[in-house]
Each structure stands twice: as structure tokens, then as C-alpha cells.
Structure 1
Amino acid sequence: MLLRPHIQNLTLNVSEPSEDMLGHCGDMLAGLLVWASFSALFSLLGCPACVAVLWELFQRHKVGTSISPNDIFMLNLTIMDLLFLCFVPFGLCNFLLWNIETFEMLTNFLYALNLAGRPLLTACICLDCYLAVVHPVTYHSNRSLTPRLLMAAAVWTATLMQGAFSAVVDELNHSAWAMLVYVIALPVIIICDASILWTLKKSYRGGGDLHPKKKKALQIIANSMVMTVISYVPPVLVYVFGHLIISDDKTYECYLAIPTLITPTAGSAIMPLLFLGNLGRLKSLCCLE
């Protein structure tokens, strides 16, 4: 999390002020409550959605449908989201109630799945779609899964490294180092999305319907654009311009930096829902009979 509470064990003195229990934001609870409430909500929504996406990918493989390169990245992204979202309630309990130092280190470690792994894998998805739409000949001549597996492995390696550093350096998740991932991922996402949209626009001008694979690419790009606006841009804007809006460090952290963690968490819940919606599975997920 963003703060290290001052008490690091299970024994809490209820007579002590809330500032001792919740770090130096103990007297500014509004931001903490907003962050905790929405994080819990997105965990509740996102976990079953991630399980449904994994089931959908498993069913494809079971019926003999070949695994597409994009499925490799979607599988890894969903696993990251599920691991992170499943742990969110425990992280909240530790932050608000338990205050166990080793548990907090694990929480900081797992936050890297959301803050580092997610944008990098989204960039991989967009890059794969870019090659499929803008350079189809090159893409179809080399559809081997090996390069995609290596890319996914590289993302996991970078993510786990950042998680390890975050577990040791408590402030890393809201430092310039954490923003480095966005500096790498956001240009790739934006350039690939813009190029794909431009290519699809030219194809549509030619008349007729879009090829089904191009429609699928358009859905994927639309999802990544939603994720970019909701999940990836707000943390960057807060880090770059936050101190221009709120100059006091404590107020900035308690009322702006911590609540902004909601947006990456929201991405972990919204992306699987969008994926299921594109497949027409969202209704069956919400209305099981």
C-alpha cells in the first residue's frame, strides 16, 4: 500500500488515536475510506469475472480451438488480475486492522501485478493486434507462440522484480520508478491503438463489412482504450500534476495519491468484464439460472 502503518503487530490499543492505526492519514479518513470501499467492490466484481474468463479460455482449448497469440497474453493478464484481486480484501484488513509488517510487504509485492504487470501485458496485447491488422502478411507468416511466451515471461520477470523491490522499499509503488512502467507501456498502447484505428478506418472506406478478425481486433483495441483512460492515465496525471494541485505532501498523499490507486484496481475488474461482454457471456455470468 502507499502507507506503512506505525503499528506492526496484531495487538492494538483501542485507546490510541486513529493516526497510530492508519499511519499519518489517520486524521484524514475520507481518502482512505474511498480507496478501501471501491477496492473491495472491484475485488468482489472482478474475481468471478476473471474466473469466467479463465473458464472460457479453457473451454476453447478443450474443444480443440487453437490458442491464438492474443490468448497467451489474455491468459497471463487474467491470472495476474485474479491473484491481485483475490488478495485485495486481505490487504485491506491488514492495512485497516491487523497492521502486520510481513503481510504488508506481501501486499506491496502483489500490487506490482496490478501496477506493473497489467500495463505491460496490455501493451503486448495491443502490439500483437497492431501486427495482425497493420502488417497481416508478416503476422500470419510467423504465428509461432514462442515469441509471445517469451514476451509474457519477460513481463512476469519485470513484474516480480518490481514486486520484490516494492516489498523492501515501501515507497516504491508511488515513486518515479513505478511510473517508469507507464512511460514504457503507454506510448506502445497509444501508438498501436491509433495505427489500428487508422488502418480499420481505411478498410471501412473501401466498402463492405469488416473481416471478423478485424472486428475482433477493433473490440480488443476499444477495450485497451477504455483501460488506458480509466486505469493508466490517472496515476500518471496525479504523479505529474498532483503537487501542482495540492502542495502539502500529507494532504496530497491522503486525498489524492491513495484514492488514485482505485483506478488501476478498477482495470483489473473491468477488463475481464469487457472481454466477456465481447463474447456475449456477460449476461450468463450475471444471470445464472
Structure 2
Amino acid sequence: MQTAVYTNDSLLLTQRPLNISTAAVTVYAMCQHMPSVILFYLGLQFINMFLGIPTNLMVLWLISKNKGDSSTSDIFIVHLAVLDTFFCLTPPLELANLVYLTSSSTWYVLRFFYGIKDSSPLFLSCICLDRYMAVLHPITFTKLKDRRHRPVCAGIMWLIILAYAVLKCIDSIPSFNKVFTVMILVCFSFMVFCNISILWALRLSGPGRDEMHPVKKRAFKMVLIILAIIVFNYFPPVALFPFQAYFSPDVFTCYIHYIAFGFMDISSSIQPLLYLSKEQLECQTCCCICCITKETENTNINVSSTVYTITG
């Protein structure tokens, strides 16, 4: 009987038989008793490819076009769009690997790209931190606005992401999947904290007023939508993966695994779509944030990226 080793390799189950033989089967064949979730997952991946690639390229084009009027978070948004664009190229190879191929060589390529996508919350956390400082600590934000710490931070993030992707690709560290579990838990908690803090500041930024200013109300709704998308994309893996031991191997590898990462990966399309939709609200939101900071800290800041989505 063939024995297989299953590891949580981000988006896919990595099938690496200990007894290499011609009897090797595809992942889809192993999960043929519950194929609906895999088909659902593949559908989301191809949505990412057909929708995510053009929208992410459009985000890059818009930021390049408006370089003279860029926001402080644009550097992180650019790197995130590049990361998502490359990830959206993988569905054809992923389909072939899941349904048709039994060779283990292509898994190395896929695991590298999955490692890249796994680490995308790091850039999202940088965007969250930038907004949090702009709204809650505007004086400090203004002092640091023109310094080169953001490019340095982006470079450090890429070093971490590439190191993580290479280690995942090699797949030689026991229980390496726990690194992803810890990373997603920490990043998710940090992003939720930042957005709730921004919502709280928007809610309270107008002492003595019974009604929130219409512009502030629109900004509040936009940040609330961003928070909802974060929960939609990242809560499934956060809620399910720490409890992997409580699921049977078949249920986890053929069902839970693909549900969790299907919701996470669709962020590659949702994120640029929300960024593009916020363009018409950008000026109004900037006015709102400037109004808030004048009332609280008597300073002007440029935070035009406040309405940019922070999903993955």
C-alpha cells in the first residue's frame, strides 16, 4: 500500500509519496470522495487569474501615473500588487498538478509561489500601520513622512518573504506549517486592531456633535468595509488551522484546507478592486482625515490611502 506524507503547503496539499511507484495518484483522485470543495477552490483561483491580473496591473499603472501625488502607503501597495500579480499566474499549473500530474517536481515551483502569497499579510500590516500612525499619531507621522524608512521596511519584508518561500519550497523543516499559522494569527490580530482603532477615532472625532459629518461617515463606512473584508478573507485560516488536530486527515486535507485558502486567496482580486473603487472617494476622505487631525492634533497630513483595502 502506498503511504503519503501530507503537509500544509499553503494553498495545496503536498503529496510526496514515501514509496515512489507507478501507482501514484493525483490529489484530485485522492479526494474524489469529496471533490466539490476542490472544484470550488479551483474556480476561485481562476477568478483570481482572469480578474486579479488586470486589476493589479491597473493599480500599478494608476500609482505610476499619479506618482507626483502619491500617498505614503503607495510603496507598500505597489509591492503588494506585484506580489498578487505573480501569484495570479499560478492557476494553470495548479490545475494540472491537482488533476493530471503525479510528478513531485512541479510542487517545488508551486510551493515557492504559495510561500510568496502566504507572506502577503506582512505588506498589508505595513499599510495598516501607516494608516494607524496617520490617524492616531499624526504629529509623529508627519515627522517621519519624508524619511526613507518605508523603502527600507519594504526591502526587509521582501527578504523575509523570499526566505519563507524558499524554505517552504525546499520543504525540509519539520512542522514548518506552524510558521504560517503563527504569522497569520499575528498579522490578522494586528490588522484588526489598527482598523478598529481608526474606526474608533473616526467615531469620536467631533466632540459635542450628535451627528457624524457626512464626509466622516463615508470614511467610517469605507474603513468598516475594509475591516469586513479582512475578516472575510483571513478569518477562515485563522479560525481553522490552529485546530487542525481536531479534524480527520481526509476532512482537513480535502475539505478544510481548500475552504480556508480559497477565501484567503480571493483577496488577490478583492484588494485591487476596492483600491480602484476608492479613487472617486479619495479627495473626500483626505478632507475627512485632515479635519480629524486638525481637531485632535492641529496638523495636516496626507493619508489618501486610508480607503485602500488591506485584504490579501
Work out the percentage of aligned pairs sharing the same amino acid: 24
268 and 152 in structure 1: CA distance in 2 versus 1, 3 angstrom threshold: same
Question: Which AA in structure 2 matches 1:177?
Answer: V
Instruction: Output the TM-score relative to the length of structure 2.
Output: 0.75
Question: Which residue number in structure 1 is paired with residue 292 of structure 2?
Answer: none
Structure 2: how far apart are the matches of 1:27 and 1:270? 31
Question: Which residue number in structure 2 is paired with residue 184 of structure 1?
Answer: 186
Mark the runs of 5 or more structure 2 residues left unpaired by the alignment: 1-10, 282-312
Does structure 1 conserve the Cα–Cα contact (< 8 Å) formed by 2:203 and 2:220? no
Structure 1: how far apart are the matches of 2:128 and 2:205? 19
Instruction: Output the TM-score relative to the length of structure 1.
Output: 0.80
SS of the residue corresponding to residue 88 of structure 2 reads: helix
**Are residues 1:52 and 2:62 paired?**
no
Residue 78 (structure 1) aligned to one of 76, 81, 98 = 81
Structure 1: how far apart are the matches of 2:248 and 2:191? 33
- Alpha-carbon RMSD across the aligned residues, in angstroms, is 3.0
**Are residues 1:21 and 2:26 paired?**
yes
> Is the deviation greater in 199-208 or in 70-79?
199-208
Does structure 2 conserve the Cα–Cα contact (< 8 Å) formed by 1:53 and 1:272? yes
Residue 240 (structure 1) aligned to one of 239, 242, 247 = 242
Q: 1:45-77 deviations in whole A, cap 9, x for unaligned?
A: 11111111111111102xx32x32211111111
SS of the residue corresponding to residue 3 of structure 1 reads: strand
147 and 258 in structure 1: CA distance in 2 versus 1, 3 angstrom threshold: same
> Is the deviation greater in 70-79 or in 41-50?
41-50
**Of Structure 1 and Structure 2, which has the larger fraction of its residues in helix?**
1
Question: Which residue number in structure 2 is paired with residue 284 of structure 1?
Answer: none
Structure 2: how far apart are the matches of 1:243 and 1:127? 33
Shift of 1:160: 0.9
Structure 2: how far apart are the matches of 1:130 and 1:137? 12
Residue 2 (structure 1) aligned to one of 12, 15, 19 = 12
Question: Which residue number in structure 1 is paired with residue 98 of structure 2?
Answer: 95
154 and 216 in structure 1: CA distance in 2 versus 1, 3 angstrom threshold: farther
Shift of 1:205: 4.3
SS of the residue corresponding to residue 98 of structure 1 reads: coil
Q: 1:107-133 deviations in whole A, cap 9, x for unaligned?
A: 1111122211x2111111111001000
Kindly report structure 1 stretches of 4+ aligned residues shifted beyond 6 Å.
170-174, 214-218
Question: Which AA in structure 2 matches 1:42?
Answer: N
Structure 1: how far apart are the matches of 2:97 and 2:220? 41
Does structure 1 conserve the Cα–Cα contact (< 8 Å) formed by 2:72 and 2:145? yes
Question: Which AA in structure 2 matches 1:104?
Answer: W
